Amino acid sequence: MVWRASLLPNRPWPAIAPPLPVREFADWADPEYVDRVQVDMTTPSGIALRGFTPGGQELRVRVEAVSAGVVRVQFRRPDADLSKRTRLARDSGLPPRATVREQDDHILLEADEIVTRVTRQPFGIVFSTPGGRRLLAHSGAERDVGEYLTTLPCGFTERDSQVFLHDSFLCEPDEHFYGFGEKFTDFDKRGQIVQMWNYDAHGVHHEQAYKNVPFVVSTRGYGVFVDSHRHVQFDMAASNHSAWSIVCPGEVLDYYVIAGPGLARVIELYTDLVGGPARPPKWAYGLWVSSGFTDDSAAETLRRAKELRQRAIPSDVLHLDCYWQEHGTWSNMEWNGKLFPEPERLVTELRRLGFRVCLWINPYLSPGTERYREADENGFFLKRPDGTTYVLPLWGTFHPPVAIVDVTNPRAAAWYQELLRPHLRMGVDVFKTDFGEGVPRDAVAHNGMSGEELHNLYPLLYNDLVATVTTAETGGSGLVWGRSTYAGGQRHAAQWGGDPNCSYPAMASTLRGGLSLAMCGHAFWSHDIGGFHRTPAPDLYVRWAQFGLLSPLSRAHGMTSRLPWDFGEEALEIFRTYVRLRYHLLPYLYTYGVISAESGLPIMRPLVLEFPDDPATHAIDLQYLLGRELMVAPVFNPEGVRDVYFPAGGWVDYWTREVLEGPGYRTVEAPLERLPLYVRLDSLLPTIEPAAHISEEPFRELTFRAFLRERAGFRLRDVDGDTMVDARLDGSALQIEASGARTAIDLVVELASERREVTRVLVNGRPLGAEDRAWRHLKDGRVHVPVTLP
């Protein structure tokens, strides 16, 4: 049963999480926990041990350095079959530098960036920096005055013929935790119990989530990744404020401790472990406009496309949601011939207008169609334990029940890809891979997995299928627009944030989910501008558009129209302003997309990621950095007033050019047309003039906007190579250094002090004179410098 508060009804959902064991009040029996270990063998990079419990049970323990800053810890029952495990972590292939030293009472594993100390009796593990600062340590078995356990020590529990392994760690009084996927609860997960089980969450208002990732990052400069696709539970100092714990079903608990230093380094190393983000094409950074979850047709689609162009709304992708197929046949991948009689002609016309095309799909098929019968006869669906096809009401009463394509069956996977291939050859560019969270735990898969074992893996395999066939047919990156995912799912750019209600609280929860997912290395994230469920009020639509158009990717979608002209003339004008701002910033956004694909660091960054030493940032989850240079503070109320925190340094109001000094909070009044947006002082922003849609060619007519007090630099990443620009004030001289792929750029300098005046300009050490495309002072006090390189 799905938990709800008293008197609230439980929503029926056929794919709920399996229950974890509960100790009753009178249950005094301790779990089997390891209290001593002996060394079995050592290797150049690790230790194999036998662990023993007070009751005489045995666990095998393995501790090994796998790469710089990363140590793997594995506990398992002696008879555990490791051959059947599906690992999510990848082997680095590069043996780390490590040394094992045995002492009388402990063993030391010293590796690059991390030292692991294993105490023989009482057993415990401590992870430290090479300088001796403790990162993470076992907590042991802690009890209250009644001698009841308040933590689960390293060991296992058996309940109802099931085995659950667990481990606990000390939690420092000032420690904070982030990550776990797209969790819509408070960004700081301290004090929460977090479940790893993908749900069709039907909103963003509770702990259930579409995207779960068993990875946590701590402000102490470490991360822990649990390599399991089962229903893992994390108790983040909820049951005992001095400890946090992991409970994992099965006979193996396998986790990686990742040492920074710093949160950003932890995320980079985690990304190396599970795989980095795919890099989307340039056009994906443009605006995606959806038909909405409502009736549609070819004529309506063309009307939307032409009106977007006529109303000068820059946009790149038209998304056709469910109704490109006939209701009741979802998702058999066949066009509704009555409403879309000539789909190939439609796609061609949309391409002529400068639009890419996205089609909605899911991995379910309804009985009664020829496609269903074909798949059922060939055994392409998940089964019930009795061998019959598993048909279940994943749409509730809105749509007929469905069967789930068995993506572990190679023939079924190939068959499913063949359903997609004709659409790609027709000119469709990308699929919205909806759903994937509905595998019931008693299902049986072709590869022998139970539904409980497959459940969290399913969206990874489903998106893999779609991404692979998309790459094969388009030659691109395999872009998908997915809803559900799990650890390693950043290889599928992109994801969006599910189905929020049209409300300010849901908008705030959406941002919290995006920030939590960002801490797991997911860079290319988006959400439904305006919210999904019902119709937003015009002010909410505008505020959500401001947030959405300054997110990593942007899409307008909902149950009803999200076209800006349907919300009034004022909303249309404001929407146009912010979509043009997005297109103005495309070189900046694209650069950070390249950085994300290379490093795993997100485009949308929680403040704590950039300012981890500032305690004020540890719980901030209603504002964020977009890249390193921009800070965005969406407004979450109709009054247009909010508090904004400014970290240390100077911040320039993007609209007024006022310089605000941090650290500290300010109350900001923002009329509807004004999004609180700030530029970090001493920053360069590469920009272009907005166009109707995006070309895959190198950015043209670049202007670098310099918000300058002393010195700023930026390395532009583009398809034709990198361009480096550095601007420095030296007294009254503006010194510019430029190199790289571009031979001509413009620089517009905004001086952060009215007492500074530029009288000379030098480019790469050469003074600019009248014979050059002369630099000049603009009427608003800025300095314009055209730069031409030989």
Residue 100: give its domain's CATH number: 2.60.40.1760
CATH, residue 761 = 2.60.390
Which residues, 6 or more positions from 768, have their beta carbon under 8 angstroms from its beta carbon? 761, 762, 774, 775, 785
Which of 549, 584, 619 represents a domain boundary (last residue)? 584
CA 428 to chain centre: 25
pTM of the model: 0.97
Bridge-based pairing of strands 744-751 and 703-708 is: parallel
Burial class (CB in 10 A: 0-12, 13-18, 19+), 78: exposed
Q: In 3D, which of 440, 434, 435 has the Cα closest to residue 455?
A: 440
Summarised one tens digit per residue, pLDDT across range 460-505 is 999 999 999 999 999 988 999 999 999 999 999 899 999 999 999 9
Question: Which of the residue ranges 229-243, 441-455, 556-570, 749-763 would you say has the lowest mean pLDDT?
Answer: 749-763
Whether the ω angle into residue 261 lies within 30 degrees of 0, i.e. cis, is yes
Residue 418 has pLDDT above 80, yes or no: yes
Q: Kindly report the CA angle at 669 between 668 and 671, in degrees rounded to 5?
A: 140
Contact 68, 96 (CB under 8 A): yes
Say yes or no: 237 and 318 in one domain.
Answer: no
Distance from C-alpha of 570 to C-alpha of 565, rounded to nearest angstrom: 9
Distance CA 34, CA 109 (A): 20
Please identify which of the residues 32, 182, 272, 434 carries the catalytic annotation: 434
Binned at pLDDT 50, 70 and 90, residue 3 comes out as very low
Work out whether the CA dihedral 748, 579, 185, 641 comes out positive or negative.
Answer: positive
According to DSSP, the residues that pair with 163 across neighbouring strands are 158
Phi, psi of 363, deg, nearest 5: -95, 25
Domain boundary among 528, 555, 584: 584
Is 499 designated active site? yes
Q: Are 383 and 391 in contact (CB under 8 A)?
A: no
Q: Is residue 71 part of a domain?
A: yes
Catalytic residue among 499, 610, 621, 718: 499
Q: What pLDDT, on the 0 to 100 scale, is given for residue 770?
A: 57
User: What DSSP character marks residue 183?
Assistant: -
Residue of 94, 105, 95, 51 whose CA lies nearest to 73: 51
Domain of residue 715 covers 697-788
Active-site residue among 437, 453, 629, 682?
437
Final residue before a domain boundary, out of 584, 616, 643 = 584
Residue 74 · residue 163 · CB < 8 Å = no
Which is more confidently placed, 20 or 187?
187
pLDDT band at 756 (very low <50, low <70, confident <90, very high): confident
437 is annotated as an active-site residue? yes
Shared domain for 248 and 293, answered yes or no, is: no
Nearest to 308 by CA among 553, 545, 563, 526: 563
Are 763 and 787 in contact by the 8 Å Cβ rule? The answer is yes
Q: How many domains does the chain have?
A: 3
Alpha-carbon dihedral sign for residues 181, 186, 189, 195 = negative
Residue matched to tokens 């392409």: 380
Residues 235 and 354 placed together within one structural domain of the fold: no
Is 655 contained in some domain?
Answer: no
**What is the pLDDT at residue 1?**
32
DSSP class per residue in 711-757: EEEEEEEETTEEEEEEEEEETTEEEEEEEES-SEEEEEEEES-TT--
SS3 394: coil
